[in-house]
Chain A
Amino acid sequence: MRVVIAEDAGLLREGLTTMLTDRGHEVCAAVADGDALIAAVARHQPDVAVVDIRMPPTHTDEGLRAAVALRRDHPGTGVLVFSQYIETRYAARLLEGNASGVGYLLKDRVADVAEFADALERVATGGTALDPEVVSQLLGASRRSSGLASLTARERDVLSLMAEGRSNAGIAAALVVTGGAVEKHVASIFAKLRLPPSEGDNRRVLAVLRYLGS
């Protein structure tokens, strides 16, 4: 996997570079602001870019803006945005009707190295990786909608993992249940939320998010 990193804190930039190199990935460039990120992606055409949201010069959302631009101009490059806070609005801007090859994680997630690397690989291959925090915020925001209230606790767990971008097998592993049980839950969720059943992880995520965000 070829990776470009954009993170303004040198300490973390170096840490990520070491970690990814250690795991056999190639870090083509590690930069500290949005413009340099866009230039590096244009030059190296990496599989995935890891992007911090707050970077110089304004320290607000330049990373996010660069990520949106990358998704528009370089659809072949996955974008994993990571930040110290999760903002639902940022997630909405990032997804914008297309959940393939995109991720949004809390910075804390780098602590679980293997999971972070998995998420990155998922994004690099066109998958999705949303932080559980994004999902729980969205769930919280749409608690008032009647469909969610009818879900069982187990179904909620499954829905959260689905929104994070996991496959049925991944969900089964996380919840320590059989694949068949997960399939039953998923079918039940789709029925209760009146979502059209569909193939492929991303469309599932998209369907869930569209429901949650509405």
Chain B
Amino acid sequence: MLGDNEVMRTTAGELAGAALRAPFTRRARRELGFCLAGAVPAVAGFFLVVALLFAGTALTATLAGAFPGLLVLVLMLRLARRLGGLHRRLAGRLLGRPFAAPPPFVAARGLLRRLDARLRDGAGWRAVAYTALKLPLALLELYAASFWVSGAINVACPLWWRVFSPSQIVTPLPAGSFGVHNTAGAFAAFLVGSATLLAAPWLTRAVTTADGWLIRGLLGPAQLAQRVAELETSRSLAVDEAAAALRKVERDLHDGAQVRLAALALGLGMAKEKLGDDGKPLDIGQAARVRELVDAAHRSAKDALVELRDLARGIHPPVLDAGLADALATLAAQSIIPVGLTVDLAGRPTPAIETIAYFCAAELLANAAKHSGANRVIMELAQHGESFLMRVTDDGIGGADPTRGSGLPGLVQRVRTVDGRLTLDSPPGGPTVITVELPLRA
């Protein structure tokens, strides 16, 4: 058992290790790159936008120049949006994190309305604010980057001071310059350089983080607007899905059971006619013909029953009434490939979610049976807070394409209607792992 001291020592040791490693991590390099890359567009963009802002405002203030002035402001807003897009993409590319874009500008009809909409473009004005704040931030970013440069030069001082002697070393700190005249001076420069290098990643990280907040706040979608956009998408998906499902049911009924029943009625009508209505005995030929007709009608009736049952099960599988675990167990038992099933859910998800989970499971098992060539499928359900994961793993050939066919894209859509997610990992050669994340409540 470790004493408190030992624990503290370990923690302190870990911290020291992390601090020493910090300058050499990939993250530090990415952040340094970001600090350097944004500087030129930040400075150029700032002066352009400010110039346009002043020109536009001044023109608008004069009576005659009001209209051109507004056009200049529109130009500024568009430029700021473009610049914002550039910074956002730079951040996304260099920091390796996605930054959501604001919704695209929606143009109105008519010149004046278009102008009005442009001037009210909230995302454009927020981009102007970012451009204004980015200038001081870019200078801070360059300052932070200078720690790396001076640190690297000064660490190497013992190697070069003789060549350039008498030499002066420069640090980004105020009053941080001193002359190096001897080995002791070079060693001091080495120490200062090391300290600068150790501090550099934290400085670049601090300014990068601040910039990240600004990008998220000013160059992304407004938070509420983002949620509204997501909900709009999922709602339209849900509505389309429901309409498509109903249309499919109608089509299935129309082409299936209704046709069979019409043919059945026709056959029985013909048989009835052949039998006559006065109880007259039939000759052998007629009797055989009637038997044939009734036989065909009987077959039609049985086929119609099967079709109706399949259709009803496709709308709502009755086994789901007993709960998702039972329904999945039934599915697993019916599967051609052996399925190992574990379900670990505290309560029951809402019925809509259970239905979606069930159809996902059915489709995924059917896919595995049809395409994967797997010998075994593992299906696991586990709860994670307010949502649960259904993971289906098979040991087949892999190479499943989420965009091909109608099965997987249909599932992705269906899951998205309730804010869920479907992820697929299926390298060629397998194994295929498909994870469906669903909320417990829709």
Contact = CB atoms under 8 A, between A and B. Distances in A.
Contact of A19 (B258, B260, B270, B272): B270
A59 B265 contact: no
Contacts, number: 47
Contacts of A116: 269
* Among B268, B269, B300, residue most surrounded by chain A Cβ atoms (within 10 Å): B269
* Contact-residue bracket for chain A: 10 to 19
A84 B265 CA distance: 14
A54 B259 contact: no
A186 interface: no
B260 A112 contact: no
Contacts of B254: 54, 84
Given A18-B270, A113-B273, A114-B273, A9 B259 contact: yes
Contact of B255 (A9, A107, A110, A112): A9
A107 B258 CA distance: 9
A109 to B, nearest CB: 9
Interface in A97-117: 107-108, 110-114, 116
A9 B260 CA distance: 9
A19 B266 contact: yes
A111 B251 contact: no
Given A59-B251, A113-B273, A114-B273, A15 B267 contact: yes
Contact of B266 (A59, A111, A114): A111
A151 interface: no
A12 B266 contact: yes
B188 interface: no
B269 A110 contact: yes
Contacts of A107: 258, 262
B263 interface: yes
Contacts of A153: none
Contacts of B251: 59
- The 7 tightest CB contacts between A and B, nearest first, are A111-B265, A113-B269, A9-B259, A110-B266, A11-B263, A15-B266, A15-B263
Given A113-B269, A113-B273, 11 more contacts: A11-B263, A15-B262, A15-B263, A16-B266, A18-B270, A84-B258, A84-B262, A111-B266, A113-B266, A113-B270, A116-B269
